[in-house]
Structure 1
């Protein structure tokens, strides 16, 4: 604990944010050396005024810092600092990395991370695509990073876990305040197959202002950020903007032009984000930094071939008219030019054969299947 306490102390100095903290460590190498430096040495750092240098010299660590460290250790959490070998290398490159991270699980310094984020109120299409994409990413030894929020974030972590891969969750609350609460089980599963991390104090609440700062860690720890389903006002676009500012790649999964849930992702594509149809699009774009095993299979979506299934002509017609993105029954009726009652009967048969799925509101879509080859 003694070697961690100075990091907490320097972080607690009024006026020392993450940006100045990084500058001080770059110059003096350790918090202990910062506190031992003279006022003139401190004020020689750009951004450190004589007044702030005086505050640093006079600062005494609050007693509750020791209690905070003890509480984290008793919970079984690790606390890693910028000088630790397990601190993410990519995160050190951003202008304002967190000086320390609380970690539940095992956080290695590997940089083969891809962030996948999106809407909290996702469609079945978005959730299905996310799970498939993340399962494919981990099959290529890539770690999936997300924020453990509802919707796309949860699907990203679940897809990685379903693919027996590693995933990292970055919280906008302390590790002692799991948010959302319904993801408590997921929290523990991620901890066993990767890590849940936070820069916030152990019992910090999930206040709204924490999440934009959390997003810089999600993008900063990753080689690129994939956005799946985001409106024009989505917080996921903040993560994408931060990724671009951090000189990281930005990817976007297209959706229906009629869905407001995809207006944000389409805007990103117009602005130059890489369009993603499958995992190969991501790997090809990052081929210069991703060292992939040539024998590693790449999973990609394989369209359902109606010739391999015993369907009559009308059933095949309906199946071919469906896509992975949900289609309303009225639109489908127009496409196949079939009476609604008959169409519903065919759709029911296809659903029972596990070829399609129905979402609330009479929305139908292909059941996406993946296969390794």
Structure 2
């Protein structure tokens, strides 16, 4: 029997949820034992009543096979609780997700230093700027930035990690076939190409409000620490921080404007001693110096010491008379920011170093299909390397 099909069968049965699976495994041993169990074997198991028994006695695998085919069609894959590659941090949850639907790379989850960055959907310019700076520096130092791909702070966190040329992980509150919010379709594609998006909700599950607290527990459990940027005292962001504290994870919070509701959650965490105040990436990195020092990172991902940045006051973009025009230096393909690109992306960069180019010319130059070129350019846009101009023209950001 195909174990994955059996897990998909179990986790898509009516009345069967994660908290009920633990007692089944304790009594019946493994997923094969659960599938083969007769009615008498199911009786007397904690939390398993008549409704659950009726579901478990339905051995039809057609729904499981349909989901498996759907996942394959999406270019995604399934991670099961008893897989060797299942994230160890989630395995030790009280009610772990026994099936994870993943769109993206097959990563070594236990060989990374994941830090979650969460915050308000209705974020301020200050919150977005601080998130961008901290996440970029964390990613450059070897940290894997984790978030929920929501509007506001979450989206900035993912984009900043991608801009740093690093991998990022998103936990979703809906099915893997649904992009929520819809405007993050491009971001979802980029995360799948350079990291992973995952969910415990089966394909087709809408982004119901009740799903997000469930999603938040995975963000907290998967990560070594959680950084909170802008949060109301009672909010989904605050619930993620509380999940982290309950599970013994490090919590960090960025101070904000004392007059704003979105600062009260962070300030409460700091004042209560639940969170360490974080003004820059170094405030977080210093907690993990040993871990980063023992990680197998490429040279470009070696830990860096990040100094606190002075944020200059805004000034007019209009050049003064005393300012002189500075000739921009032509970039080289050997620049460090291009080091982690694949060969196709480097071919695109080589062309754009010489001149701006239409997407059709890019396809011909890099020997890519339109879809492949679009995917590569999307990721490079998120990394801050290129900009799309009118008429499908792309230019290199110098």
Q: Which residue of 2 aligns with 1:356?
A: none
User: Tell me, what secondary structure is at the counterpart of 1:348?
Assistant: coil
Change (3 A) 1:13 1:241: same
User: How far did residue 132 of structure 1 move?
Assistant: 1.2
Alpha-carbon distance in structure 1 between the residues aligned to 2:175 and 2:12: 16
**Aligned counterparts, 1:215-254, within 5 A:** 215-254=216-255
Alpha-carbon distance in structure 2 between the residues aligned to 1:34 and 1:73: 25
User: How far did residue 350 of structure 1 move?
Assistant: 8.4
Q: Which residue of 2 aligns with 1:3?
A: 3
User: How far did residue 119 of structure 1 move?
Assistant: 0.5
Q: Which residue of 1 aligns with 2:165?
A: 164
Residues 291-336 of structure 1, C-alpha deviation per residue, up to 9 Å, x if partnerless?
Answer: 45696213333326xxxxxxxxxxxxxx6xx49xxxxxxxxxxxxx
Q: Which residue of 1 aligns with 2:73?
A: 74
Alpha-carbon distance in structure 2 between the residues aligned to 1:162 and 1:237: 27
Q: Residue 275 in 1 paired to residue 243 in 2?
A: no
User: How far did residue 58 of structure 1 move?
Assistant: 2.0
Alpha-carbon distance in structure 2 between the residues aligned to 1:52 and 1:260: 45
User: Tell me, what secondary structure is at the counterpart of 1:300?
Assistant: coil
Alpha-carbon distance in structure 2 between the residues aligned to 1:196 and 1:168: 6
Give the alignment partner of residue 298 of structure 1, picking from 305, 311, 314. 305
**Aligned counterparts, 1:38-187, within 5 A:** 42-43=42-43, 45-48=45-48, 51=50, 54-55=53-54, 58-61=57-60, 63-106=62-105, 107-110=107-110, 111-187=112-188
Structure 2: which 5+ runs fail to align?
A: 324-398
User: Tell me, what secondary structure is at the counterpart of 1:237?
Assistant: helix
User: How far did residue 271 of structure 1 move?
Assistant: 2.1
User: Tell me, what secondary structure is at the counterpart of 2:83?
Assistant: coil
Residues 51-85 of structure 1, C-alpha deviation per residue, up to 9 Å, x if partnerless?
Answer: 46743652333633321211111111111101122
User: Tell me, what secondary structure is at the counterpart of 1:301?
Assistant: coil
**Aligned counterparts, 1:304-343, within 5 A:** 322=313
Residues 142-190 of structure 1, C-alpha deviation per residue, up to 9 Å, x if partnerless?
Answer: 1111011110000000110111111001111112110111110100111
Q: Is contact 1:149-1:180 (8 Å) kept? A: yes
User: How far did residue 26 of structure 1 move?
Assistant: 5.3
Alpha-carbon distance in structure 1 between the residues aligned to 2:52 and 2:209: 32
TM-score of the aligned structures, taking structure 1 as reference length: 0.76
Q: Is contact 1:227-1:236 (8 Å) kept? A: yes
Alpha-carbon distance in structure 2 between the residues aligned to 1:21 and 1:119: 33
Q: Is contact 2:3-2:31 (8 Å) kept? A: no
Residues 192-236 of structure 1, C-alpha deviation per residue, up to 9 Å, x if partnerless?
Answer: 110011111212111111111111111111111111011123210
Change (3 A) 1:275 1:216: same
Alpha-carbon distance in structure 2 between the residues aligned to 1:263 and 1:301: 23
User: Tell me, what secondary structure is at the counterpart of 2:145?
Assistant: strand
Q: Count how many residue pairs are aligned between Structure 1 and Structure 2.
A: 313
Q: Which residue of 1 aligns with 2:20?
A: 20
Change (3 A) 1:14 1:54: same
Change (3 A) 1:298 1:351: farther
Q: Residue 348 in 1 paired to residue 316 in 2?
A: yes
Q: Which residue of 2 aligns with 1:357?
A: none
Change (3 A) 1:43 1:148: same
